[in-house]
Chain A
Amino acid sequence: MQNMLTLLSNALCRITGRTAGAQTVSEAARITASCSFADFTPQVTFDIKEACAAGVEAAINRSDHLITAYRAHAYTYTRGVSVKEILCELMGRRGGVSKGKGGSMHMYAPHFYGGNGIVGAQVPLGAGIALACQYQGNNQLCVTLYGDGAANQGQLFEAFNMAALWKLPCIFICENNQYSMGTSAERASASTDYYKRGDYIPGIRVDGMDVLCVREAVKFAADLCRAGKGPIVMELQTYRYHGHSMSDPGVSYRTREEIQDVRSKNDPIALLKEQMLSNNMTSVEELKEMDVAIRKEVEEAAQFAMADPEPPLDDLCNHIFKNDPPLEVRGTNPWSKLKSVS
């Protein structure tokens, strides 16, 4: 099933001329996880949000900006980072996109600002990026993503206020996967209409399992922003198969039947596959071929990542500050000093 996101990439290639194979990363994460490398914090299995990532990327330009929280591997991929670099970063190797220093939650790319660990903290940042776009007059916008859990953070409302006041070109997207870590949305939020949380900011609710819905909605929002009509809030209704993190089995606060139900009826990749096959846009053989090719690419990337060495120890102290002569950093003992180069 995981290989079927190649469908998306192909379909979207045809529609938009752009690759958006977000599922290859989930596949990769599964291969890596099965080799049980425990040195990364896997709070991030993207499962089932593939439609969100692929849809969003299809609707914006590469020159637009995107920022999200920690469930970011697919966005890292859609924003242009290779599977190889993502897997290396997961394992803390020097070939990683953040040079092995960030890990699972901290991957970055041009016009992709991460990869942020603290829930909700990325939203005011996103508003700021939008301000920069407006200030520079470059017709770009910022897509700022957060989850239903983060929707209850105070700093979001501060960001909403600023964005609305100054009509910032910011699309606030709430990826509602029904659970705020281990607490279901109804038990965490007084209002589960996350698209209405912007209050004075208009909002749209979108089926996050349907990649084409997501793409159209984001396109609409992007056009609105580029016309200078200010921020917009969007809620993508999606789900999360696994628990919040490796320490969360994901079944102490919901039933297995619920998970199975969503898996069988609402999986975005399966849905798209159905649509494409029934409309004769592709054939089963073509899908199989893509499947094989993607699997190969991911396997190679995984092999590369596992063989890649870790970053050199000198890197431990680099890039703390921006400093011209190397900076002295206190070591673990008062008489030992390390050098920080940046």
Chain B
Amino acid sequence: MAAAARLFLRGIHSKCSVSGVSTVPRTSFGPRLLKLSPSCDPYTKAQRRHAAHFTFQPDLVPTQYGPTQKMNLFQSITSALDNTLSSDPTAVIFGEDVAFGGVFRCTVGLRDKYGKDRVFNTPLCEQGIVGFGIGVAVAGATAIAEIQFADYIYPAFDQIVNEAAKYRYRSGNLFDCGKLTIRAPWGCVGHGSLYHSQSPEAFFAHCPGIKVVVPRSPVQAKGLLLSCIADNNPCIFFEPKILYRAAVEQVPTEHYTITLSQAEVVEEGSDVTLIAWGTQVHVMKEVAQMAQEKLGVSCEVIDLRTILPWDVETVCKEECFLNLEAPISRVCGYDTPFPHIFEPFYIPDKWKCFEGIKKMINY
């Protein structure tokens, strides 16, 4: 599912008037959660879903990193990996099916360009892949391991949490696997069901020693991935799979990095703070717009980018807890496994987030 969205309500300044709320086209998803408008009545013949729950909103073309090229998310990943393999002779990429280009085409052309000893397939064993990756990194080579879907990362959980994360600490800085980066496609995609849609960043969010990063767009992805690879700590990089083809931007072709553990304020606002990561940032941007138009509420949208260690500074400026006008609200998927047929009702789409804002300003 797309990331949880945190809503803060800051001190209401004079501008926040709630009058003139226009009718929302669909019934809101509050306590009357399961009531939908007639066209979505599940008791009539099932409709095929055509639209995604978000619209990708590209950022402005970055000018500070050199010439750019139109790329989608998976192409920006390929570009980052290409830059890495060319500049770092110790870099290797491995995982299931990466040799022919990967199931999401993230490694297309790399094996032909850099050779089969640098881009190679592993057998189907996630625990083995990550354990092996830790070994490669400890010995001094840059290891980029791919887990085919984030849903499959759990066999490797022990290796990540007990081996990779604690290596530097338990050896008194004698050894580390900082050169390890684990990449995995992440998040809901519309038809992924239980085992192709999960967002497991929360499981890793409380494990000191690793870094967890989720980009929202091609430009962000390339910069953040290159930062993860360069970072001297083991990193897990989750790539929103629904954006692989849906997100297209002008991405710099040269090497560039985006600082880790730094959240980005993608839209300024003064009344409510919306925090999200990955695909959900685009949902929140739309929600912010809706809130402005329909409620006259000015929303700030923050992309957290790095889940661990997260940017407390940006999110909680100036002892915010003492100044909040309403409790912090979390809008996310239900406490159920990621469903099969119920996915459209499960994901925290813009209507649920909008409802969250309405409840908040009326607190």
Contact = CB atoms under 8 A, between A and B. Distances in A.
Most buried by B among A91, A248, A309, A334: A334
Contact of B341 (A189, A311, A334): A311
A102 interface: yes
A153 B128 CA distance: 8
A317 B127 CA distance: 32
Contact of A307 (B30, B45, B192): B45
Given A117-B195, A187-B121, A154 B340 contact: no
Interface string B9-48: 0000000000000000000011101101000001111101
Contacts of A336: 29-31, 33
Nearest to B29: A332
Interface stretch (B51-59, B62-70, B269-277, B342-350): B342-350
Given A39-B341, A336-B30, A117 B194 contact: yes
A117 B198 CA distance: 13
Nearest to A102: B340
B340 A92 contact: yes
Interface string A299-318: 00000000101111111110
Interface in A135-168: 149-150, 152-155
A334 B335 CA distance: 11
Interface stretch (A126-134, A175-183, A272-280): A175-183
Given A153-B125, A334-B329, A41 B191 contact: yes
Q: Tell me what chain B mostly uses at the interface: helix, strand, loop, or mixed.
A: loop
21 contacts: A105-B194, A106-B340, A154-B155, A182-B96, A182-B121, A183-B99, A188-B121, A252-B100, A252-B101, A312-B43, A313-B342, A316-B346, A320-B335, A331-B33, A332-B29, A332-B334, A332-B352, A333-B331, A333-B359, A336-B29, A338-B34
A152 B125 contact: yes
A242 to B, nearest CB: 15
A100 interface: yes
A38 interface: yes
B332 A332 contact: yes
Interface string B182-220: 000000000111111000000000000000000000000
Contact of A333 (B30, B336, B340): B30
Contacts, number: 162
Question: Size range of the interface on B?
Answer: 35 or more
A330 to B, nearest CB: 5
Taking chain A's interface residues, is the majority helix, strand, or loop, or is none over half, making it mixed? loop
Contact of B356 (A120, A153, A333): A333
Interface in A213-255: 247-248, 252-253
B42 A183 contact: no
Contact of A320 (B44, B45, B124, B336): B336
Q: A interface, how many residues as a size bin?
A: 35 or more
Nearest to A96: B341
Contacts of B29: 332-333, 336
Contacts of B342: 101, 311, 313, 315-316
A330 B334 contact: yes
Contact of B334 (A120, A149, A180, A329): A329
Nearest to B194: A117
A188 to B, nearest CB: 4
Interface in B92-118: 96-97, 99-101, 103
Given A152-B125, A182-B121, A333-B356, 17 more contacts: A37-B48, A101-B340, A103-B341, A118-B155, A183-B96, A252-B101, A314-B34, A316-B336, A316-B346, A317-B334, A320-B336, A330-B335, A331-B334, A332-B29, A333-B30, A333-B331, A333-B352
B330 A334 contact: yes
Nearest to B343: A39
Contacts of A118: 151-152, 154-155, 195
A150 B33 CA distance: 41
A313 B192 CA distance: 19
Contacts of B151: 117-118
Looking at B42, B96, B125, B340, the one whose CB has the most chain A CB atoms below 10 A away is B340
Contacts of A152: 123-125, 128
Given A183-B96, A183-B99, A329-B335, A100 B340 contact: yes
B123 A180 contact: yes
